[in-house]
Structure 1
Amino acid sequence: MQKSGTGTRGKQVSTVLGRRLGGELQRLRLSAEMTQQQAAEYLSATATKVVKMESGLVPVRDPDIRALCHLYGMTDRAVLGGLLDIAKTDRERRKVKGWWDDGLAPGAASYIAMEDAALRNRQWQLSLIPGLFQTAEYTRAMGVADSLWENLDLVEAVVSARARRQQRLHGDSPLLMHAVIWEAALRQMVGGSAVMRRQLNHLCELAELPNVHIQVLPFRAGGHSGVSGPFNILSFGEDEAVDVVHMDTPRSEIWIEDAERSAAFVGMFNSLSRSGLSPHDSMQLMQSIGKGMSE
């Protein structure tokens, strides 16, 4: 596991992707039993350039990726395509200043930039409604109750940021969102019964979107593998491409960027999904909980 810092320099907000790409290039080089100096000579470059590429400190050009894959004997087109996709996204994120760069904490800005670049988000939540699904009044109620959100202006900045993030669920190329939510998050009276009824109604409306898949893990499911905390799995390509896991804690954030450990979280998410209710039954439970909340 790697704790936040994101390894950013200046306004480079996508260095998680840069490090992931660099790690893959390093793995291929080591498998080919070659040194950084040999890779540099093949590229007609310095060893320092290769070091920076493998560390995720610089954007990597497509011709360099293709050349290194050829040198390392990597002929799998799917793998090459995944590396090129990551490199393209990383370059775009490095050069474009997003709305998230203004007024948000560095950790939040880095996550939102990654989410904005992702094609798919798989999320497990224990006690809160996922941020992309929250109504403004639910977010505001959480902010007022959280001592880490220092003042009302900051609360409103977070409310505004979440509203803009939620635009990713709509449009021509919407984010594919699959959330598994523990039943406790649906019953927690954030902001009171009226706020929660509207929040649950909003969840049911979102569940009708073709790109949104919501499941509830009910209390009756018993023990489960997600007790250690919530997490997101961000995907930047097709199924064979790299997944990055993000976990947010009250005082820090954690990124998991290597294939073996991210695969373990994918397995955990799949297990939680199998234990959860179907989307139809989940909607029925959300509607039932909402109707049962007193005025």
Structure 2
Amino acid sequence: MRYGPAVRRRKLGAELRALRALAGLTSGEAARLVGWHQSKVSRIETGRSGVKPADVRLLLDAYDVRDPELHELLVVLAGSDDDGRQHWWRAYRGLLPSSYSDFISLESQAGAMRTLENSVVPGLLQTPEYAREVTRTVVGGALDGEVDALVEVRLARQDVLRSNRPLRLSAVLDEAVLRRTVGGPEVMARQLDRLREAAHLPHVRIQVLPFGGGAQIGVTGPFVIFSFPNKSDLDVVVLDHLTSSLYLERKEDLQAYSEAFNSLQDQALSPEDTMDFIAGVADGG
């Protein structure tokens, strides 16, 4: 049985394999310590099968891992909250594509998220009206009830910005995001206000790439970089396509996209100038 999206299984397996090696154990020795067959340890470490949170705890105890934050992170990566509750989005599993569920899962567990958007406002910053218009357009032919449910999901995702340990969000938006009228002038006016409100949160950083800045690497398309607390080896890049999502996990890819995002931030307006720019767009400038 598999417990969680493939990207998490691979990340978790690689981390457990590294911790076992650090403890000086072979996979067979680790299996004997926890009362398993060696093949189960191998399947977990290669990401071919998932692992329950309780089993992660067994392995971490066997490897004498005492860092409480690392414990918590790896247990959550196994696909369940630390108290065993099912994640909230599973209530929508009949509606959400697996790639979207995977994305939400990573978003809920990450410590930081860096995102480039060149078409629409990031989902974590959308108003309900804006989210509805975007959803209705993307999911063509969806019934009103389905649209309502998908909007509920998008709004529920925004809780990561209001939790006790909120997600640190850095967003670089192409000017086209602000200029594209979604849902009409009133919807856009409220959406621009929402961006300015969000920018005042200490863990949210918003910057705009103005048209006047010329060509930049962001023209290749939007992307998201998820970073996890204290473990850069768990970071992942997500590229969204019309019918699927691509997850990039190689260090070379992570480095390339991180450098690209840093470059985009350097080219973009400062957060302070961005607020003035958004206000100007809202005033019709």
Q: Output the TM-score relative to the length of structure 2.
A: 0.83
Query: Could you say which residue in structure 1 is the equivalent of 2:9?
Result: 18
Verify the 8 A CA contact 2:31 2:38 in the aligned structure 1. no
Query: Could you say which residue in structure 1 is the equivalent of 2:116?
Result: 124
Query: Could you say which residue in structure 2 is the equivalent of 1:100?
Result: 89
Structure 2: state its 5+ residue gaps.
none
Query: Could you say which residue in structure 1 is the equivalent of 2:166?
Result: 174
Equivalent of 1:287, from 261, 279, 282? 279
User: 2:203 & 2:182 partners in 1: Cα distance?
Assistant: 26
| Cα distance change, pair 236–183 in 1 and its aligned pair in 2 (3 A) | same
User: 1:54 & 1:62 partners in 2: Cα distance?
Assistant: 15
Query: Could you say which residue in structure 1 is the equivalent of 2:221?
Result: 229
User: 1:284 & 1:156 partners in 2: Cα distance?
Assistant: 33
Verify the 8 A CA contact 1:178 1:214 in the aligned structure 2. yes
Verify the 8 A CA contact 1:119 1:235 in the aligned structure 2. yes
Alpha-carbon offset, residue 24 of structure 1: 4.2
Alpha-carbon offset, residue 58 of structure 1: 2.9
Q: Secondary structure at the match of 2:283?
A: helix
Amino acid at match of 1:101: R
Q: Secondary structure at the match of 1:190?
A: coil
Q: Secondary structure at the match of 1:160?
A: helix
Equivalent of 2:39, from 37, 45, 48? 48
Query: Over residues 65-110 of structure 1, what are the superposed CA-to-partner deviations in whole Å (9 max), with x where a residue is unaligned?
Result: 576699xxxxxx9xx8886454222235274312211233132222
Equivalent of 1:88, from 57, 67, 75? 75
Verify the 8 A CA contact 2:31 2:41 in the aligned structure 1. no
Amino acid at match of 1:177: L
Verify the 8 A CA contact 1:120 1:175 in the aligned structure 2. yes
Verify the 8 A CA contact 1:216 1:276 in the aligned structure 2. yes
- Over the aligned positions, Cα root-mean-square deviation in angstroms equals 3.0
Q: Output the TM-score relative to the length of structure 1.
A: 0.81
Q: Secondary structure at the match of 1:245?
A: strand
Verify the 8 A CA contact 1:149 1:155 in the aligned structure 2. no
Query: Could you say which residue in structure 1 is the equivalent of 2:27?
Result: 39
1:196 and 2:199 correspond: no
Matches of residues 96-175 of structure 1 in structure 2 within 5 Å? 96-103=85-92, 104-105=95-96, 106-148=98-140, 150-175=142-167
Compare relative contact order (CA 8 Å, sep 6+) and give the higher one, 1 or 2.
1
- Percent identical pairs in the alignment equals 35
Query: Could you say which residue in structure 2 is the equivalent of 1:258?
Result: 250
Structure 1: state its 5+ residue gaps.
1-7, 71-76
User: 2:106 & 2:80 partners in 1: Cα distance?
Assistant: 8
